[in-house]
Amino acid sequence: MEQLMRDFFLFLSKNKTLTKLAKRYGLRFGASRFVAGETIERAVDVIKELNRKGLAVTIDYLGEFVDNEQEANEMANHSIEAIRAIGENKLNSQLSLKMTSMGLDISDELVMKNMRRILDEAKAHGVFVTIDMEDYSRCQKTIDIFKQLKKEYDNVGTVLQAYLYRTEKDIEDLNAYHPNLRLVKGAYKESPEVAFPDKKDVDENFKKVIKMHLLNGNYTAVATHDDAIIEYTKQLVKEHNIPNDQFEFQMLYGIRPERQEQLVREGYTMRVYVPYGTDWYGYFMRRLAERPANVAFVLKGILKK
């Protein structure tokens, strides 16, 4: 049943008609729990409140299905606007973005032009930028772009997904770049030809790549809501005397906020992934796909209205 629900919401996440409707009708039906708002001003207010609680942030202007140059340039402008807001408000925040929103599916030249514009601005304001990983078909291209940018900029990292078979090799391959990586389980529907179909195998691979990357001496963001993975990481760093400034935990805005604050009290860096913008629909559907408890929360919210 859980797998059926997951597949259903992942299917809905790719529906362009529903995406357009969602843009038109705003953050209704519980989406505001997971999305900070539609404007940078609203997002800044949310970040200030999170920072006040000792939480670090990474902010992401949501955008999907970008298929023309003008829209890709506009998405880059939104990222630059977010970087300036971080700098001007002295926020403890980084920036996350997707390559497809910068023009990945249009041309290499366009995506590199937009990424350099963003990273130049980020460098000026002391902001770190993480390139989100998308579905498997774009994985190699994203890694290739990251390698190129890492040769030019220090303030850029990327994401690797534990459910892919290739990730262990990617960790080995990227070690030469001393990368700052966010490690995640993975949230896209992938073929068993490229990804572990069973959760237990994904969990084991997640632990393996966390250990590899940390023991390589590289900065590691462990992005998970899973207590077993959090406890594994705590034990690992203790066992190998890895300092707290070599890693952090990351969670999504609106999911397990009490746990997030608890990790801060325990002395860990805890970064909250805060998305904002009008194009929230696909992101929201993937959050519902990930955890059935999220669906129950949203239904409760709708019934109360």
Verify whether residue 265 is a known catalytic residue.
no
Answer for the pair 183, 206: CB distance below 8 angstroms, yes or no: yes
Q: What is the 3-state secondary structure (H, E, C) of 281-293?
A: HHHHHHHHHHCHH
Burial of 303 (0-12, 13-18, 19+ CB in 10 A): exposed
Closest CA to 267 of 242, 240, 241, 248: 248
Answer for the pair 276, 37: CB distance below 8 angstroms, yes or no: yes
How far apart CA 186 and CA 176 sit, in angstroms, is: 24
Closest CA to 272 of 288, 259, 286: 259
DSSP state of 134: -
Residue type, 101: S
The number of residues making up the chain comes to 305
Cβ within 8 Å of residue 175, ≥6 positions away: 216, 218
Return the SS3 of 155.
Answer: coil
Angle at which helix 292-304 crosses helix 281-290, to 10 degrees, equals 120
Of 6, 60, 132, 279, the catalytic one is: 132
Verify whether residue 42 is a known catalytic residue.
no
How far apart CA 220 and CA 210 sit, in angstroms, is: 7
Closest CA to 68 of 100, 36, 38: 100
Cβ within 8 Å of residue 113, ≥6 positions away: none
Of 6, 60, 170, 182, the catalytic one is: 182
Which active-site residues does the annotation give?
132, 182
